Structure 1
Amino acid sequence: MFAKLVELGGFGVEAAVTLTRNGLLGPVPPAALARVVEAYRHFHVTPAAGVAIAAARWPDRTAVVDEAGSLTFGELDARAAGLAAELRRRYAVGPGRTVAVMWPNDRGFPLAIAAVSRLGADLLLLNTGLAGPRLRELLTREGVDVLIAAPDLPPVDFAGPRVSDLDALAAAGLATGSAAEPPRRPGRLVLLTSGTTGTPKGAPRRLSLAELAEPFVSMLSTVPLRGGEPMLIAPPLFHGLGLLWYGAALVLGCPVVLLRRFDADAVLDALAVERAAALVAVPVMLRRLLDRPPRRLPELRVVVSGGSALPPGLAAAFMDAYGEVVYNLYGSTEAGWAALATPAELRAAPGTVGRPPRGATVRVAGPDGAEQPPGEVGRVLVSGGLTFTGAADGLLPTGDLGHRGPDGLLFIDGRDDDMIVSGGENVFPQEVENLLAGRPGVADVAVLGVPDEEYGQRLAAYVVPDPDAPPTADDLRKAVKTELAAYKVPRDVVFVEALPRNQTGKVDRTRLLEQVTG
């Protein structure tokens, strides 16, 4: 890795300074360095390489903390090697085969993905909430040969083997002392899109160090993470946001704190007990944390929000409670990481998603594909080291519409397919949603476009009221008319008990509409 940074010329100097400051670069004993080189040569840029390299450098440092206790990097790597040997021996897992992993946030997830990637098989990460026909369709469509699923998940209609007892298999592999032969090339990593409006689709990646170096170093130069500091990752690791930061934690040798289910009190307790310096969360999780009395968390310096739009008022409220710690990450499963906003930028330009990392490109394109001037809305296109295989002409449409401010900061106005035309005016539901989310008495809100016989489309706001001080529909309509425009006022304001969300925190629009229409 370090040699590759040198090849990048002037950027190599910047990278060396950044990585030294973050504690990644430093003296490495010759024997450990040899194991680092061998791990990269065998496993390339994969979870297996990340665990093996961390084990070579910091074998006795904690790798994972969960409800069952903790594992060191050395223990995690040894178990992954044992599990890989048994997966190879019993189920012929290897190049050309696809293994799906369906596991919640505990030690089983990093163990499973490290073992599978040791074997060069394609790795498909499944949402633990999938079930029934949709899950069967996915397993068939993606050509899954072996399913690794947590034992407490429901039965799965799958013709192939289902593997659940990872500890027993890892122990059996370690007992035999046999090791699976390293693959000649890495398998693909396949992430699923969120599937909030339909069946999730696979987004395959095969990563390289050269592609990842610039955006990774750019992230570390912006976000003040240091090697060895605990990081609590609250979103599912099968989701791009959780997986991205798990990869960063591996590279930095950071202990990862995992909870199988999100609970605001449990998260706050874990942050305090483990003295975590970083928290990764989706916006709805930050909202739930703010519902609890603020805790004293002096070690918490970084809170990364991503996975869905961060309402400006929520970012400000969280920083008012916990300090200038919020970083807003913009990206998607297909596009990877596209932009990052710092706390200072979120204060100065509420609602911004920041700027692209070095090595990535973001274009706000008009109808002719050319860059839009500041203030003009266009399609957001991205490219960079984390963009998934299949981006045409180097630029991938995110499906979002956005604009740049006069200082170059990026703002997302909404999804391309969410924008509605009501009475001849273009309306972006997210703008109205952000405003309503900051109104007194609004605990949660989603704004959607729905068909309208007279205007073609109209806005509908679905509001979860604060039971102690609920707003009225007229209050909310008046706020939109006063602060935005009359044509942006939702015709429908529907009060609901809760908004249905998927496990990555996004509103499930299909379920919401089914819920309110009966």
Structure 2
Amino acid sequence: MQVFKLIYVLFRVKLFSPLGLYSLIAAIHKYGINLMPLLSFAERVYSDKVAVVDDHETLNYQQLLLQSKKLSAIFNERYQLSSGNKVGIMCKNHASLIKAIFALSLLGVDVYLLNAEISKHQFNNLIKRYDFNLLIYDFQLDSLVKQSDYANGVVLSYHTDLPAISNLLNSVSEQQEIKRSSPGKLVILTGGTTGDPKAAPYKPSLLNFLNPFLALITRLKLLNYRTAYIATPIYHGYGVGILFVLIALGRKIVISNGFDAQRACSLIREHNVEVVTVVPLMIDKMLNNNVEDLNSLACIASGGAQLNPRLVGETMNKLGSVLYNLYGTSEAGLNVIATPQDLSYSAETIGKKIDGVRLKVLDQHKNEVEAGEVGQFCIKNRWSMSNQNNCWLETGDLGYKDSRGHYYLCGRVDDMVVSAGENVYPIELEQILLNHPEVEEAAVIGVSDEKFGQRLKAFVLPAANATVTKEELFQWLGPRVARFQMPKDIAFVDDMPYTPVGKLDKKQLKFSEKSF
């Protein structure tokens, strides 16, 4: 079945056509095993089609390839970059970021995608740990870089006067042919909102990434659509993975420097966007901004954070069966997808495994649990960090599988609370609270308790014009939760803390609780 699916997809993306096969083979022979053959293939097949639209420029596939190649030669000639060097890129979504990724990959450079919202402390730790040969960044981050301990070469993404990708490409330079080099790594840095992020390195490999490539194309039906908007940061694994798939398909890719709900809705309307990548917070903001602008959407691919069941229902009611839920980690890549049909079956599911994934649910003693029992997700696949097929990765995520093969999240391992000997999962209380008509958002953490060891505490953001009191919420919860799920306290808040990429930041809630 998988073989027939592969053949069908390869025919549709023109890889089984004489031109497609020749283009791919010629590109690999010319450039070697790196990301440039992907762009070269797309240029040969989709040459004059629009590739990227951002806040600065619009490029077709031919222009994107030519500028990426020229940039590669400039990096090699002016900055002596070559195989084995390390380059950090600290940029939001724009064409210069995409050009730099392909240009550096051609040189065999290890490319580190840094969070553009990084703190000064984290940045200093990263540059000490990795000693980058060059740093590429947005001018808005200039003060961060200049106040740090970084002392090597720098290039801005855009600037009229200072060395930047935008004006380097306008300079006169001899286009020397870049020799084939050893493939470099693309390094994704995980989370790290308060702690230091960890590196998840990947090496380019068509065979290793075939299963997630096919899963995205077939389950999200990407072959049916022409235009996609990547609203999530490309410096995360989710964003950059979708970028490469869309380039292989020759799609028009819309990106913007940062997310603003009104701007996002306008872009979707202006470009008749059919596919958008988001985190749940983005969906919520867009639905509340101008839902009429979203009528062209046929696929909303949500990832990076837990989907609120209420948001699933609201999206379906307003836009129809267009919502998909993607589950993966920076280290393990994409592993589970929920289609609109899966979310109709259960608004709480993260879906079913994609082909090629081995997923075990293990208890604290590393024993596999039965269907319906909660344990930690442990994953093995060919496309995980360092592409080590013989390595099981502990995700740190708790969840379970039902009898029909659907998976569900129950939070992080360090979120679980042991109250009077019972394992209690904050996410279950959160989902119950979200069913209250006057609760807009809810977050639950564990707090110390002299009698039970630990208990739950709920933080509630009331809906607009809500009048519900703490006592009324406790009374409402009574028949809906087990004794050990009843929170010790409920605190009303004016807003919820979120990370820059839209994840609920429970670390801030725990810190504020300790400070209080």
| 2:174 maps to 1:176 | yes
Aligned to 1:348: 345
Summarize the alignment of residues 391-470 of structure 1 with structure 2, pairs less than 5 Å apart. 393-470=390-467
The percentage of aligned residue pairs carrying the same residue is 31
The CA distance in 2 between the partners of 1:44 and 1:340, in whole Å, is 32
- Runs of 5+ unmatched residues, structure 1: 1-9
- After TM superposition, the score normalised by the length of structure 1 is 0.92
Q: Distance in 2 between matches of 1:441 and 1:344?
A: 28
**Structure 1 residue 367 displacement after superposition:** 4.5
Are 1:25 and 2:25 matched, yes or no?
no
Q: CA distance change for structure 1 residues 466 and 368 in 2, over 3 Å: closer, same or farther?
A: closer
User: Which deviates more from structure 2 when the two are superposed, residues 239-248 or residues 490-499?
Assistant: 490-499
Mapped pair 1:159 → 2:151: yes
Query: Do the aligned partners of 1:432 and 1:480 also contact (CA within 8 Å) in 2?
Result: no
Q: Distance in 2 between matches of 1:386 and 1:392?
A: 8
Give distance in 2, aligned partners of 1:188 and 1:392.
17
Residue 17 of structure 1, CA deviation: 1.7
Structure 1: distance between partners of 2:438 and 2:34: 46
- Per mean C-alpha deviation after superposition, the further-off stretch among 228-237 and 469-478 is 469-478
List gaps (5 residues or longer) in structure 2: 157-163
Matched AA of 1:25: K
Deviations 1:254-294 (A, max 9, x none): 11111212111211111111111101100111111222242
Aligned match of 1:4: none
- Trace 1:114-133 onto structure 2 (pairs within 5 A): 114-133=102-121
1:283 equivalent in structure 2? 280
Letter in 2 for 1:176: E
Residues 326 and 111 (structure 1 numbering): CA distance in 2 closer, same or farther, change over 3 Å? Answer: same
Q: Secondary structure at the match of 2:28?
A: helix
What letter is aligned with 1:163? V
1:168, 1:340 → 2: CA distance? 41
Structural mapping, 1:59-458, within 5 Å: 59-155=47-143, 156=145, 157=148, 158-164=150-156, 165-172=164-171, 175-183=173-181, 185-226=182-223, 229-295=226-292, 297-389=294-386, 393-458=390-455
Equivalent pair of 2:225/2:274 in contact (CA under 8 Å): no
TM-score computed with the length of structure 2 as normaliser: 0.92
Aligned-residue RMSD, C-alpha: 2.2
Q: Deviations over 1:98-137 (max 9, x none)?
A: 0000111111211111111111010100000113121010
SS in 1 for 2:77: helix
- Report Cα offsets for 1:187-237 as digits up to 9, x if no partner: 011111111451111111113211111232133221111266111111110
Are 1:511 and 2:508 counterparts? yes
What per-residue deviation string (whole Å, max 9, x for no partner) do you get for residues 368-419 of structure 1? 5443221111121112233112768432111111111111111111111110
Which whole-Å deviations, capped at 9, do the CAs of 1:129-185 have from their partners, x for residues lacking one?
11312101012112322100012223212111111110222233x6422233231x2
Letter in 1 for 2:398: L
Alpha carbons 1:81, 1:170 under 8 Å: kept: no
2:66 is paired with a residue whose SS is helix
The Cα shift of 1:479 comes to 4.1
- CA, structure 1 residues 192+42, in 2 after alignment: closer, same or farther (shift >3 Å)? farther
Secondary structure of 1:105 counterpart: coil
Matched position secondary structure for 1:176 = coil
| Separation in structure 2 between the aligned mates of residue 399 and residue 299 of structure 1, nearest angstrom | 37
> Measured at CA, do residues 33 and 375 of structure 1 come closer, stay the same or move farther in structure 2, by a change above 3 Å?
closer
Alpha-carbon separation, structure 1, partners of 2:294 and 2:2: 35
* 1:470 shift after superposition: 5.0
Distance 2:234 2:373 in 1: 36
**Distance change (3 Å), C-alpha of 1:131 and 1:366:** closer
